[in-house]
A and B are shown apart, each in its own frame.
Chain A
Amino acid sequence: MATTAMPVGSSTAPHEYENSGLWSWLTTVDHKRIGVLYLYTSLFFFIWGGMEAVIIRAQLQGPNGQLVSAEMYNQLFTMHGTTMVFLAIMPLSAAFFNFLIPLQIGARDVAFPRLNAFSYWVYLFGGIFITVPILFQLAPNGGWFGYTPLTTRAYSPGINIDFWVIGLQILGVSSLAAAFNFITTIINLRAPGMTLMRMPMFTWMSFVVQFLVILAFPVITIALVFLLFDRFFGTNFYTVAQGADPLLWQHLFWIFGHPEVYILILPAFGLVSEVLPTFSRKPLFGYPVMVYSGILIGVLGFGVWAHHMFSVGMGPIADSFFALSTLLIGIPTGVKIFNWIATMAQGSLRFTTAMLFAVGLVALFTIGGISGVMHASPPADLQQTDTYFVVAHFHYVLFGGSIMGIFAGIYHYFPKMFGRLMNERLGKWHFWLNFIAMNLTFFPMHFSGMLGMPRRIYTYDGGQGWDTFNFISSMGAYMLVVSTSIFVFNFFRSKKRGEVAGSNPWEAGTLEWSIPSPAPEYNFAVLPTVSSRYPLWEGNEHDAESARINAQEGKTPAQLNIVLPYSTIKPLIVAGSMVLMFCGLLTTIAVTMIFAAIMVVALYSWLLSPLEPEHH
């Protein structure tokens, strides 16, 4: 199944992916196509999670809402949280990891292309596994955090929580596999001359994120194993009657949970750090400071987890330690905000849609950051925890932060992915509607939160001062539906009829803009050399020479004597059989045995087959 040669694309209309039949997508190991697959799937789940949010807002529009029952509401808000965190924002970042990292560091592909395909397929099947139950009203209903004793078999006897526990284990495997892949890629496949301090900022932030993933996911894997054993094999990790302490779950979950929220935000920081310099026509201000603050956020991220647990009574020493470490981690985040502002200062700004979204992140994330620092102090948090104030906080940092950054990234890198520009007018409509709707939806939650409206309630009595705020939030949510549909329309329309973009429509400075759009399968005709942080802006003549060669279109791998890895279906089979093996826990053990056997056979056949044709 050698890869077929790529037909010569005319420089006017960018070529579609050459053999874009279904089989070529199922067997692809090309990091760019896997990135596009991640993008499509995660946008679908983002809209799916958004629909869940709209139903929640419709139910809470007025007091004593009757739209959905208590059980259905609990499944909706649990799946809204789980879908948005694990199936939308992380994979949206993964889409950019996959697509951008090799291009930014001047590599032909990731270190382990087949492992990369495996992570995508595990994510897809895991996403389906955890999303389908809601159609049968069997979705997880324990909250995205799934605190025990509620989620133990005694208090959640149904199959709902089993879907959640197994679903998260599967998605954990996908993230971990991708993380090892990207750590090795970033360390080992940088172009000649690209030292660590010359890497683009997005790759740096991804580097920190991958370390967060490999260190945080094992902890939740163990927490989930304990819950799985408690639910299926009657062990007593969280059974109070046997002397166990349910706080063990909270601690293990949040040891993963807080690094997780940095996993969600740092890629958006990276994308903004690519967009702002490009449209300010200025290098990023204080590059080394941005790198070290990213690393500091990563490392400190493991020391702050218990600020989610100020109200469980850990005692003054623990509370004050975690309050201090939480305040401490605010500093590197603040440093980043100032560096972005300094990047824009005295820059010749061009407000394209991507730039608008990037500035939107700087503004809204700062609001979210400030409201976050407020409940870093335990006495304030005792009043705010589990109220809508916290809901407002994390929607400002997640929607105002991650999603804004990811939208900036989509508008910025759409030309490189599909060869066409997204429509700027629609883009501006999308931005302004999104900006207004976001504030309309989430700002009133600060007030209903401070007035004591608890989180996760499916209904509330009138006359407690919450009615108007909830009404405004719901109206804002409906506006978000409008703005997101403008984006979806713009996305699919521009793929076919967007204005054709050359290799560097924004005149950006980093390596990914030195190759044609959409990027050829082999990425770089010749390995680029790098002597500065912005090779296309400040590169020496050697860099310019390699950039010139790489800009030529229509070369086939054979002509350039480049060997590409075989496309193979094996990662998909291993991923599929692994997920079905997990399903065996819900059905009969025989199912697990059968698919475990298939998985091992497929795994051996994958490991023993050569990665690419022997180099003659």
Chain B
Amino acid sequence: MANEPVHSDPAATTPHAAAHEHHHPTWQTYVKVGAVLTAITVAEVWAYYIPSLVASRIFVPMLLIMSAVKFITVVMFYMHLKYDHKLFRVLFTGPLFIAALTLLALMFLFGQLAAKLGR
């Protein structure tokens, strides 16, 4: 939830504990991640140009999944959510969760959800 209390709060650590270990990934990792992202983007655009695929029912879910994978990849690796303090994960996933629910609710309320699923 957005403001779940952080249980692993270092209660009485010395005022300035050694900042959590700073082992950020190497530049090779970053370039590999960049390549993966590019590959997914190319796959998405390529899928767009296959009429049979576009007409099929799995086109939209497939694209959403690929976009979600890219989203998570960038957030985890480039924004260091994987390596940083758990607090940032809560600060980001909480609002993201509420935002996603609001988006789904709004689309349902305006009848677009049925339209999209019904396609």
Direct touch of chains A and B (CB < 8 A)? yes
Closest to B106 in A: A251
Could you tell me the distance between the alpha carbons of A318 and B11 in the complex, rounded to whole angstroms? 44
Chain A residues contacting B109 (CB-CB under 8 Å) are: 251, 306, 314, 318
Query: Which residues does chain B contribute within 8 Å of A219, judged by CB atoms?
Result: 102
Stretch among B1-9, B41-49, B59-67, B76-84 lining the A interface: B1-9
Asked if residues B2 and A187 are in contact (CB atoms below 8 Å), the reply is no
Contact B3 A195 (CB under 8 A): no
Flag whether B92 is at the interface (Cβ < 8 A).
Answer: no
Q: How distant is A103 from chain B, measured CB to nearest CB, in Å? A: 19
How many CB-defined contacts (below 8 Å) exist between A and B? Answer: 51
| Closest chain A CB from B91 CB (angstroms) | 8
Q: Does B34 contact A (CB under 8 A)?
A: no
Q: How many A residues face the partner with a CB closer than 8 A? A: 27
For the complex, what is the distance from the CA of A314 to the CA of B106, rounded to whole Å? Answer: 11
A247–B2 Cα gap in the complex (Å)? 27
Task: State the CA gap A255–B99 with chains docked (Å).
Answer: 11
A residues in contact with B1, CB < 8 Å: 295, 299
In the bound assembly, the distance between CA atoms of A384 and B55 in angstroms comes to 48
Chain A CB count within 10 A is highest, among B94, B106, B109, for B109
Residue of A196, A255, A298 ringed by the most chain B CB atoms within 10 A: A196
Interface string of A231-271 (1 = CB under 8 A from B): 00000000000000101100100010000000000000000
Shortest Cβ distance from residue A548 to the other chain B in the assembled complex, whole angstroms: 20
**Is A192 a contact partner of B108 (Cβ separation < 8 A)?**
no
Measured CA separation A207–B99 after assembly (Å): 19
Known: A195-B9, A302-B102. A295 touches B95 (CB 8 A): no
B66 to chain A, nearest CB (A): 27
Q: Which residues of B contact A255 (CB under 8 A)?
A: 102, 106
Contacts of B98 in A (CB 8 A): 215, 299, 302
Say yes or no: B12 contacts A192, CB within 8 Å.
Answer: yes
What's the least CB distance linking A309 to chain B, in Å?
A: 9
Cα separation A197 to B9 with both chains bound (whole Å): 10
Q: How far is the CA of A302 from the CA of B5 in the complex (A)?
A: 19
A192, A196, A208, A291: the one within 8 Å of B6 (CB): A196
Name B70-119 residues within 8 Å CB distance of A. Answer: 87, 94-95, 98-99, 101-102, 105-106, 108-110
Query: How far does the alpha carbon of A318 sit from the alpha carbon of B12 in the complex, in Å?
Result: 48
- Measured CB to CB, the closest approach of chain A to B59, in angstroms, equals 26
Residues of A within 8 A of B51 (CB): none
Residues of A within 8 A of B15 (CB): 192, 527
Q: Does A214 contact B (CB under 8 A)?
A: yes
- Most-contacted residue by chain A among B87, B94, B105 (CB, 10 A): B105
Q: How far is the CA of A318 from the CA of B109 in the complex (A)?
A: 7
Q: Which residues of A contact B95 (CB under 8 A)?
A: 214-215
Contacts of A245 in B (CB 8 A): 110
Among residues of A, the one whose C-beta sits closest to the C-beta of B14 is A192
Question: Do the beta carbons of A303 and B101 come within 8 Å of each other?
Answer: yes
Q: Is the CB of B11 within 8 A of A195?
A: yes
Known contacts A251-B106, A303-B101, A306-B109; A196 and B2 CB within 8 A of each other: no
A164 vs B15: C-alpha distance in the bound complex, in angstroms? Answer: 47
Please name the residue on chain A nearest to B5 by beta carbon: A196
Q: Which residues of A contact B87 (CB under 8 A)?
A: 187
Instruction: With CB as the reference atom, state the residue of chain A lying closest to B1.
Output: A299
Q: Are A318 and B108 in contact (CB under 8 A)?
A: yes
Cα-based distance from A193 to B12 in the complex (angstroms): 5
- Shortest CB–CB separation between residue A615 and chain B, in angstroms? 14
- Give complex CA distance A314, B109 in Å: 7
**Complex Cα gap A515–B29 (Å):** 52
Could you say which of B2, B105, B106, B110 contacts A298, with CB atoms under 8 Å apart? B2
Within the complex, the shortest CB–CB distance from A182 to chain B, in Å, comes to 12
Q: Is the CB of A193 within 8 A of B3?
A: no
Establish whether residues A196 and B12, one from each chain, have CB atoms under 8 Å apart when the complex forms.
no
Question: Which of B1-57 touch A at CB < 8 Å?
Answer: 1-6, 9, 11-12, 15
Which single member of A196, A207, A295, A302 contacts B101 (CB below 8 Å)? Answer: A302
Tell me whether B9 and A196 are in contact (CB under 8 A): yes
What's the nearest-Cβ distance from chain B to residue A535, in Å? Answer: 14
Annotate A409-420 by CB proximity to B: 1 below 8 A, 0 otherwise. Answer: 000000000000
Closest to A197 in B: B5
CA distance A306 to B110 in the complex (A): 13
Per-residue CB contact flags for chain A residues 195-234 toward chain B (1 = under 8 Å, else 0) read 1110000000001100100110001000000000000000
Closest A residue, CB atoms, query B97: A299
Residues of B within 8 A of A187 (CB): 6, 87
A359 vs B15: C-alpha distance when bound (angstroms): 40
Instruction: Give Cα A219–Cα B106 distance, bound, in whole angstroms.
Output: 12
Q: Which residue of A lies closest to B7 (CB)?
A: A196
Q: Nearest-CB distance from A527 to chain B (Å)? A: 8
Give residues in A with beta carbon < 8 Å to B: 187, 192-193, 195-197, 207-208, 211, 214-215, 219, 245, 247-248, 251, 255, 291, 295, 298-299, 302-303, 306, 314, 318, 527
Interface pairs A-B: 9 shortest CB-CB: A196-B5, A211-B3, A211-B2, A299-B1, A302-B98, A195-B11, A195-B9, A193-B12, A215-B95
CB<8 Å pairs between A and B, sample of 11: A187-B87, A192-B15, A196-B6, A211-B3, A211-B94, A215-B99, A247-B110, A298-B2, A299-B2, A302-B98, A318-B109
7 new A-B contacts at CB < 8 Å, known A299-B2, A299-B98, A302-B102: A195-B9, A196-B5, A197-B5, A247-B110, A295-B5, A298-B2, A318-B109
